[in-house]
Structure formats: structure tokens, C-alpha cells
Chains A and B, each alone.
Chain A
Amino acid sequence: MRLGLVIDLDVCVGCHACAVSCKEWNASGSIGPLADYQPYGAEPSGVWFNRIRHFEMGEYPHNKTINFPMSCMHCEDADCVTVCPTGASYKRAEDGVVLIDQDKCMGCNYCSWACPYGARELDRATGTMKKCTLCIDRIYDENLPVEERQPACVLTCPAHARMFGDFDDPDSAVSRTVRERGGYALMPELNYNPTNRYLPPRRKPEVSVAPRPRGGLKDSLRQFANRLVRR
């Protein structure tokens, strides 16, 4: 099994609901708490597993705003795991989820240096590294209804821009969507083989912004008169 997320950049509206819901679930989850520094102060900051950036692609009038949620990619070749000196970071053989054992982490930050996606953040309150667990304490919880055994971010997304599933199964919904929509990985040139896939924005009909064609003789006369009067 190779569990991961698919994020549809065409649909994401950039509302940050996935990040808030992630924080809500994981603050009391298996590797919580997620510390906040000055939450109501002048410089609010804290630990988040999921961050949404906003990019602009192309030049006006052919531009488009792309909302870009990012969390751990649960890479196949996860350097964060190989560089970890304590063995706190590990990748589960059974489902490919990358996790951090909070009891072993010494907070050296080395794994965050090895991660190109900025998925790992040090929690200053506990002195340990924290990251997306793919809601490991949710997806296998048999006390939850089957349809709720998904990561919190996927469940909460109001635009249905996020999907969760098994990429090893060629007939799973995520595999099919990635095939049909041309889902891609970020920074493939670094060879981390990330599991998560992004669906590219679709092409939109272009809105013309060229100046409107001029009217006839009557229009020209009226414009001429208007200009005279204004002077």
C-alpha cells in the first residue's frame, strides 16, 4: 500500500480550511500538541502540518491565481528518514506513511534540512520535529464510520480539491484521477519520488480585453461634441 493525497489545483479556492482542520485534529492527535507562539500577539506563529501558498501564473490578461496547499509528500525515497541520526523518523513499510517517533527525536533539525517541501517544523514547546501524519490516528480508526476514515484535510475541504487513497492500486480513485488529469509530482528532479500528486489547472476560455471596436459616424460626432464641451 502507498497512501497519499491528490490535490486539485484547478478546484482549490485557497480558503485554508484544510490547514485549520488539520491543526484542530492533530493538536490533540497522536503527536500533538502543536504549539502556538503568540497566537494573539503581534507576531503570531506556530506549528502547522499543512500550509497554503498562493501563486500567480502568467501575465495579465492570461494570468491565473493558483492556491497551493502543501503538506508532507510521504516520499518513496525520503531523505528526511535516511539522514535522521536517532531513528526517530521512519517510513512505514505497510503503507508508506512517514512518521516521527516523538520519544526518540532530539530536535537537531537535520531532517527539515533534507526536506525540499518544507513539510517538517520544529515544535519549540516539546523540542521535537513534527509533520503530517496523514491522520494515522484517523484512517485506521475502526470506531469511525468508514467514510470518515480519511485525513481531516480531505474531509473538510469544501471544494473537494483533496483526495486520499492508495497509489499502489491502479484502480483506486486517486490512481484513476492522476491518470486522467495528468497529475504530477513536485520537484521530480531531486529524485525524492514524492507520493502526493497535484492536478494541473485546466485551460479556461480567455476573456478578451482588447479595446471595443469604434462605433459609426454618429458615435464619432457625439464623442467630438463631448470633447468640445468639456474644454
Chain B
Amino acid sequence: MHPVLSVIFFTVASGAGFGLFSLLFVADFFALGGGFSRAHLLVGGAIALALIVLGLLSSTLHLANPKNAWRAFSRFRTSWLSREGVFAVAFMPLALAYLACIAFDAPLWLRHASGFLSAALAWITVFSTGMIYACLKTIRQWNTPLVPANYLALGYASGSLLLLLGAVRAGLDATPYVALAGLIVAIAAVLKAIYYFWIRSPGLTPTVNTATGLTRAGVRLFDSGHTHGTFLTEEFGYQLARRRASVIKVLLFVVGFALPAVMLAAVLRGSGAEAAAAVAACAGLAGAVMERWLFFAEARHVVNLYHGAQRC
């Protein structure tokens, strides 16, 4: 699949935003490390909402006809893309209500209820983002439950690293935030490793024989019938050399998971905690961008069987 930058930015930014917002509620509910002050909670919430809104806006950049984008909320019952939009929009008023509860000292039960509901909706929205890809039977690398799991784990991992940066800047006890981030980043790394292991073996997939129905002998493409590229070759023809993909995977694990882990240890040691937390957050986000790019670049759509591939 052709990797589109606007979609990569959208999934990484909104994933981190939703992750940060839900974990902010967790930190507030349990008063982790002494608890954020009101102003810090509001700033953190605003940053999370900004990430989400910027992501959603950038997602409209890949539309060829954005004036009809408002219609995307209409097929809630069948389309995961529609569901994602509806959940993301439903999240907004709840999240604003939670921030308002914090700002205007509302009763604690109201603050916790709106915070819990918005955290739950954030989880559902990121899950829907993953399901947009996981529900496609045409792309083997995407059609697995590991995809929404990866989207959730990576969104919450980047969110937890951003939250840690906030906690260090706010001067809270960093220990619970380091533990939280360490656990989520480790889960994200393990899930991603399982995913890469899983997509290595081809499994049961269509071949050029089932795609043409000519199963009695070997079949190969003779001529694709067009002189230059088509929409199909542009959209689905992207191919990444296996060796290059492996190099990116190593780099992604070093930058996205190992470096933040080292930085978490540095934060615990105390000296230069703020710089270490900033490096961890940036590395986590950079790793997420690399992961998302590879997620698209490695996906092979079955229509490639009609353009020369023997299996997908």
C-alpha cells in the first residue's frame, strides 16, 4: 500500500492524544505521584485535545472530495471509518465536560464520571481506528486482531511518555509515571514483535491461481494491459524490499522502544530528568511514525495478483 503522510500523522497524533487524555484521567483519579494541579491538568488536557483535533483535521487532507466529509458520520452501522468519526466526535463534549469539571471545581462524582466516560470513548475510538484496517479481507497483513491491539498499545505508549514528560515538568514524583510508561511501552513492544512474527508467514491467502481461477497449471502475468500506471498500481503497487523493511524494524525497535526504556531509567536516576523525559517522548512518537509508515508500506493488497504477484 502507498503510505500517505496525512494518514500516518493522523493515526499517530490522534492515537497519542487519546492515550494521553485517558492516562491523564487515570493519573488524576489515583493522584499518581501526588497528583497534578488544576492548571497542569487543564494544560495536559488541552494538549491531548489539540493532538486529536490536528490529527482529525489532517485525516481530511487525503480525501479527494473533502466537501462531502460530513457525510462520513452516516454509515455508523456498517463502516468502521464512520464509527471512528462518530466516536471521535462523541468524545469531544465528554472530554470538554471533564476539563470543565476540573476548571470549575464540580462535584467529584461528576468529574470522575465524565473522565471515565471520555477515557472509555477514547479507547473505543482508537480501537475503531485499528478496525478500519483490520476488517479488510483483501490485505493479509492487516486482517488480524493484532492490528487494533497494536494501535491501542502504541497510542497509549506515546500517551504515557507524554504524560511522564508532563509529570516531570510539573515536579511530581516520577516513579509511578515511569512504572506506567515502562509497562505500556513494554506491552506495545511485545505486541508489535508478535505482529511482525505473525505476518512473516504467508498463511492461507489468495494466489494468482485462485485470483484467475486457473488452478490446473502455473499462471504468470504476460501483460498488464496498460502502458503506464493506473490508479490501482499507484495505490496498491508500493513495494518495500524485505531487507529494507528489516532495517526499519530494527531501527524502530531501537528508537521507539529501547531508547524510551533507557530514558525511563535515566528519569528515575534524577539528574537531567526533564531532558530524559523529553527524549523519551520524542523517541516514542518517532517510533510510532516509523511503525505506521511500515504498517502501510508492508501491506500487500490482493489486487497485486492481477499485476504480477504470485501470492500476497
A contacts, CB < 8 Å to B? 16, 38, 43-45, 47-48, 51-59, 62, 65-66, 68, 70, 79, 81-88, 103-110, 112-118, 121-122, 124, 126-128, 184-192, 198, 200-201
Contacts and interface: CB of A to CB of B under 8 A. Distances in A.
Given A43-B228, A55-B220, A85 B214 contact: no
Contacts of B225: 16, 51-54
Contacts of B213: 184-186, 198, 200
Interface SS of B by simple majority: mixed
Given A121-B230, A186-B211, A85 B220 contact: no
A59 B217 CA distance: 8
- Looking at chain A's contact residues, the main secondary structure is loop
Contact of A54 (B68, B138, B223): B223
Nearest to B133: A113
B235 to A, nearest CB: 6
Contact of A187 (B63, B66, B206): B206
Interface of B: 1, 62-69, 71-75, 78-82, 85, 132, 135-139, 204, 206, 208, 210-214, 216-232, 235-236, 301-303, 306-307
A178 to B, nearest CB: 13
Contacts of B81: 83, 85, 108, 110
Contacts, number: 185
A127 B63 CA distance: 8
B218 A57 contact: yes
Contact of B78 (A16, A83, A201): A83
Given A108-B63, A110-B81, A200-B214, A85 B222 contact: no
A108 B219 contact: no
Given A57-B214, A86-B68, A105-B65, A113 B136 contact: yes
B173 to A, nearest CB: 45
A38 B64 CA distance: 19
Which one of B137, B208, B231 has the greatest number of beta carbons of chain A within 10 Å? B231
A83 B72 CA distance: 11
Nearest to B312: A116
B11 to A, nearest CB: 14
Contacts of B214: 55, 57, 66, 200-201
Given A116-B138, A121-B231, A189 B210 contact: yes
Contact of B212 (A48, A66, A84, A85): A66
Nearest to B73: A85
B137 A58 contact: no
Contacts of A85: 71-75, 79, 81-82, 85
Given A86-B68, A105-B68, 20 more contacts: A45-B228, A45-B229, A47-B231, A54-B222, A54-B225, A55-B212, A56-B221, A56-B222, A79-B137, A85-B71, A87-B74, A107-B68, A108-B62, A114-B136, A116-B138, A116-B211, A118-B236, A127-B63, A188-B210, A190-B302
Nearest to B308: A53
Nearest to B302: A116
A106 to B, nearest CB: 4
Contact of A62 (B68, B217, B230, B236): B217
B250 to A, nearest CB: 29
A106 B230 contact: no
25 contacts: A43-B229, A44-B227, A53-B307, A54-B221, A55-B222, A58-B217, A59-B217, A66-B212, A83-B80, A86-B75, A88-B71, A105-B68, A106-B69, A107-B63, A107-B64, A107-B65, A108-B62, A110-B79, A114-B137, A127-B64, A187-B206, A187-B210, A188-B210, A189-B204, A198-B213
